[in-house]
Amino acid sequence: MSNNFILASTSPRRRQLLKNIIDNFDVIASNTVENTTCTNPRDMVIELATQKACAVASQHYDSVVIGADTIVVLDGTVLGKPKTAEQAYDMLMSLSGRDHLVYTGVCICNKGKSQTFYDVSTVSFTRLLPIGVKEYIATGSPYDKAGGYGVQDCGFISNIEGSYYNVMGLPVEKLTDYIAKYL
């Protein structure tokens, strides 16, 4: 591809996933303050992804900039990234033995135009034991992940309906389709 791609995220998981479909791209953090007035999860992830992509695209007009944002929703409540071990523990235990939704919004900016889409997956957690949750928290993994877990490393998931990669932070299947159609 002759396009210059930029991932507007420093997430190692998004970088890994994008590498599966695009050989060469730059990584530039958007450094935006993530604020949204949206209450609908779909609108929320699209707005946040757009903020990230547009912040980087404003400095890189001729590049294709990809921004993404992922949230976990349990019973209508958005679970963000835990800041403390106690928050991580409470989040993970609230997911124990239950289903929740994972939304990822994507914004692609190029030459002053943007396109957005989102994906949603249903994730089922096994019943969690407090000792297992505490051991997982001790790894440090929960702190940079919505809902306090990483699909690739937690071992808590019994089923996923929808895209595994969406739960990981970038709906690669939909992104691949978009790139093939529009770029």
Please state, in angstroms and rounded to a whole number, the distance separating the CA atoms of residues 152 and 9: 18
Among 156, 151, 181, which residue's Cα sits nearest to residue 169? Answer: 151
Residues, the chain: 183
What SS3 class is residue 162? coil
Please say whether the beta carbons of 46 and 118 come within 8 A.
Answer: yes
Please say whether the beta carbons of 146 and 81 come within 8 A.
Answer: yes
Is-catalytic flag, 69? yes
Q: Which of 26, 43, 62, 69 is catalytic?
A: 69
Token couple for 152? 């690739």
Residues catalogued as catalytic: 69
